Amino acid sequence: MVDIQYAVTNPATGEVLQTYPTAEPAEIEAAVAAASKAALSWPRSSTVADRAALVRRVAELHTERRQMLAEIIRREMGKPLEDALGEVDFSAAIYTYYADNAEKFLADEPVELLEGDGSALVRRAPIGVLFGIMPWNFPYYQVARFAAPNLAVGNTIVLKHAPQCPESAEALQLIFDEAGLPSGAYVNIRATNEQAADIIADPRVAAVSLTGSERAGAAVAEVAGRNLKKCVLELGGSDPFLVLSSDDMDATVDAAVAGRLDNTGQSCNSAKRFIVAAEVYDDFLAKFTAKLLAAGDGIAPLSSERAAITLEKQVAQAVDAGATLTIEGERSGAFHPPAVLTGVTEDNPAFRQELFGPVATVYRVEGEAEAVALANDTPFGLGSYVFTTDPEQAARVADGIQAGMVFVNGVLAEGAELIFGGVKRSGFGREMGRYGIEEFVNKKLIRTVR
């Protein structure tokens, strides 16, 4: 049997809807060559305002084609239509944000001299060809937060999307082409992992950005480091959700369920570990379990049957190691019912794993210090959530949590203007917001002496 590298497989039915050929070596060479040629000419022939206008047109095309784009990712990875439409809209907002702010973000920055005559400034310039490796869970949003700022800078992009997202990748290529970007400014390729490693090593490629698994991040970082290339890595997460106090437990539980079931639990920064103070633990657990399990009636499939099987095995291993499982129903194909694990001890494999799907672990703690210690007792450090009625406690806990992001008394509060990224094994570098445009620029000093 031929191993299909790129294919659209409907996770709800398992039906392979369309297959796509993997790129031949000549196609890879043509893509890198085109991006390299554009990187030399495009920044010289355009201003930041020119490039921002193109990025704005990309946003407009997302909005014009939102229904079509949403239907594509519904087929590819099982995202409910309402969520898919929301992803397209958020992507458009990201392109618009950088179109609106690129000139301000990239303006020359004067440096006040301590001594001597003349002047000094920092000028932000593109560094060249960037290689992006994107995942399947947010096929448009992940590309937007990488492509929008870097195209405004004047970098060019070679992009490898996930093998299960070739149709959305082609739709994006068409949008960038129709927006008026020059040939080679954005090039989609269907590369193998081996070809991707060669692209990273190619001297014409300046840097690489990956959103994906720890294993993929380690592999990319190894090749990038060996070839002295900068990389930005957004990897896994096992985000803690701390419930320290609540004056409306129903609202807190609603937020907890929304945080766990975002994208059917397949989001790196979705809430996964629920750490609850003893005085509210019983109330939270009862309401949270009931509401989470009730969501199973209309739950979407995971991205693939393989993903659901992996989650099922992780849950079984957790139970074998002593955890208590509360679940209704069984896995069916790519559908995995919501579930709650309690009694997960430090020696349980689930304690340090990322459960990528609608399964939550709930822990009881005796107070703030224990809650923060447990929140930090993970190899990951992407996002986190703190629910408390005490503003001073919220500030203390936010300072104490080892994560790239802390959300206080809210979930699903991301925005184009807010930076995204983590620490520890969740990766390094930042995307989105003011700092997202800073990752792949040459901060060039220009010192003039009179």
Give the model confidence (pLDDT) of 401-446 as tens digits: 999 999 999 999 999 999 999 999 999 999 999 999 999 999 999 9
Per-residue pLDDT, 395: 98
* For range 299-309, the mean pLDDT: 96
Is residue 299's pLDDT more than 60? yes
Per-residue pLDDT, 184: 98
- In a 13 Å sphere around the CA of 114, the CA atoms on its Cβ side amount to 0
User: pLDDT tens for residues 85-94?
Assistant: 999 999 999 9
Is residue 2's pLDDT more than 50? no
Task: Please state, in angstroms and as integers, the Cα–Cα distance from residue 405 to each residue in 276, 359, 420, 422, following that order.
Answer: 19, 22, 7, 7
Per-residue pLDDT, 278: 98
How sure is the predictor about 71, in pLDDT bands with cuts at 50, 70 and 90?
A: very high
Per-residue pLDDT, 27: 97
Task: Please state, in angstroms and as integers, the Cα–Cα distance from residue 256 to each residue in 250, 413, 435, following that order.
Answer: 10, 13, 29
Per-residue pLDDT, 5: 86
Per-residue pLDDT, 1: 32
User: pLDDT tens for residues 228-254?
Assistant: 999 999 999 999 999 999 999 999 999
Selection from 57, 60, 40, 44 nearest residue 184 by Cα: 40
Is residue 200's pLDDT more than 90? yes
Is residue 329's pLDDT more than 90? yes
* For range 313-328, the mean pLDDT: 98
The rounded mean pLDDT for the chain is 97
User: pLDDT tens for residues 393-410?
Assistant: 999 999 999 999 999 999
Per-residue pLDDT, 4: 53
User: pLDDT tens for residues 139-161?
Assistant: 999 999 999 999 999 999 999 99
Catalytically active residues, by annotation: 234, 268
Selection from 232, 283, 230 nearest residue 256 by Cα: 283
* For range 36-47, the mean pLDDT: 98
Task: Please state, in angstroms and as integers, the Cα–Cα distance from residue 285 to each residue in 189, 223, 270, following that order.
Answer: 46, 45, 18
